Amino acid sequence: MTLTSPSMPEIELAASAPTGDQAHVALVRSTLSSGFPWLLFPAALEQRFLTAQHEIRRQHFLISGLLALLVFNGFLYADYLMVPDAFELAVKLRVGIFTPTALLLLYLFWRSPFFTQSVAPLTVELVCMTAGLAAAVCLAFILSSTVSPYAHLYHVGFMVVIMYGNVVMRLRFWYAVVYSLALTAIHVAGVFMLPGFPERMIVPIMSLVTSTAAFTLTACYVLERDERRRYLMTERERGLIYELSDAQERLRESSRVDDLTTLYNRRHFQEQAQQMWQRAQFDRSGMAVLMLDVDHFKKFNDHYGHPAGDACLKRVASVIRAAITRHSGLVARYGGEEFIAALPGLNSDQLNALAGEIGQAVEDLNIEHAASPTASVVTASIGVVSCVATPKWTFEKLLNAADEALYHAKHEGRNRAIVQSW
C-alpha cells in the first residue's frame, strides 16, 4: 500500500534540480562565461530564449506596428509636397492596399489563436521584415511613377523604413542585417534607375541611407546583446534560487532522518505520530504503537565491532520498513537499537500477524550473533499496544504502554512479541 505524505517510513533526500534543468543552468553559466559575440546561443538554449521572449515580442509588434502604420500614412503629406504627380498613386498604395493588409495582420497577431499560441517565435521577425520591405516597395513604386524634380529627396524615406525595422521593431540582429541589405539594394537600384537623378546628390543620399543602416544595426546589435544577457542572468538567478531552495529542503529533510538507517528520527516520529493520533481521535478509530528492540545488541557490537553493528541495524531497519509500509504506518529509529512504529486502524489479529512477521523477518536475516544467549542469529523483541483513540487515552499513555509491553517481551526471554489491545 502506498503511504501518504505524513506517514512515509523513509525520506528520500531531495535530489538536486532535474537533469534537464541542471543541464540548462550549466549551459547558461557557460554561455555567460564564454560570451556570445555572434548573438547566437547553443541550439537548446536559443530555442528556450526565443520561446520565453515570444509573447513580449508579439505584444511589442502590435503596439509599435500600429504606431508605425500611423507614421507611414502621415507621410502622405510629404507625398503631396514632393511628388504631387504621384499623390493619387501614393494614396492608393498607402491607404488602399498597405493599410488594410497591415491592419488585418495586426488583428490576427492580436486575436488569432494561431498567431498568439502556435506560431513559431521567429515568424514575428519574418512578418516585421516583410512589412518593412513592403513599405520600401511602395516607396520604390511611387518613385518609378513620378517625374517630380524633388523625387531624389524622396529617398530619405528609406531611412525611415530602415529605422522602423532596426530600432522601432527591434528585429533580431541577423534578420536586421538581411533587412537592411535588402532595403539598401532597393535604394541603390532606385538611385541608378531613376531618370534624371542629380549626380551631385548620389553620394550624399546614399551616404545618408547606408549610414542610417550602419548606425541602426549597431543599435540593434547592442539592444539584442543586452536582452540576451538579461535573459541569461535571469536564468542564472533562477538556478541559484532553485539550488538555495534545494539546499534548504535537504537541510530540512536531514533534520527528520536518521543518518544510519534513513528512517525517520525520534523527534519527527513524535511530531507526526501526534498528528496521526489527533486524526484517530477525530474519527474515533484505532491506533497502535509497535516498539522493537534488537536483542543483546551491545554484546553484538562488543563481539563484532561497531561497523558490523551499523550494518546489522541497517538490515533490521529495512525489514521493519518493508512490513510497516504495507500497513500505512509511520516507522522510525527511536534510539540505539530500538525502533518504533505507529499504525492506524489495525485490529488485534492483524497486529499479531504483523508482529510475528517482523520478528521472523529479523531472524530470517541470518545475521550471526555468537554472543547472544537467546539465539545463534540476531533476533528482536517486540511490544505492541493498540487502543481506540478516545478522550481517556493520550498518545503518551499509548507510547508508555507499548514500552511496557516491550519490557515484558524482553523479560520473558526475548525473541518474542507481546501484543495487547486496550
Residue pLDDT, tens place only, 204-219: 888 999 999 999 999 9
Q: What is the mean pLDDT of residues 379-394?
A: 91
Cβ contact 377:412 at 8 Å = no
Q: What is the reported pTM?
A: 0.59
Is pLDDT of 196 > 90?
A: no
**pLDDT band with cut points at 50, 70 and 90 for residue 10:** very low
Mean pLDDT of 177-204: 84
Q: How far apart are CA 407 and CA 257, in angstroms?
A: 26
What percent of the chain lies above the pLDDT cut of 90? 46
- For residues 410-416, give the mean pLDDT: 93
212 Cβ contact list (under 8 Å, min separation 6)? 158, 159, 162, 163
pLDDT for residue 14: 35
Average pLDDT over every residue of 175-181: 94
DSSP 3-state of 422: coil
Window from 18-32, 109-123, 189-203, 341-355 with minimum mean pLDDT = 109-123
Helix (H, G, I), strand (E, B) or coil at 263: strand
pLDDT at 306 over 50: yes
Q: How far apart are CA 14 and CA 250, in angstroms?
A: 6
Tell the residue number behind the cell numbers 504621384, with chain if given. Answer: 86
Mean of the pLDDT values across residues 15-30?
70
- Which pLDDT band, with edges at 50, 70 and 90, does 239 fall under? confident
At 119, is the pLDDT very low, low, confident or very high (cuts 50, 70, 90)? low
Matching residue, cell 535571469: 234
Instruction: Tell me the mean pLDDT in the region 92-108.
Output: 90
Percent of the chain exceeding pLDDT 70 equals 91
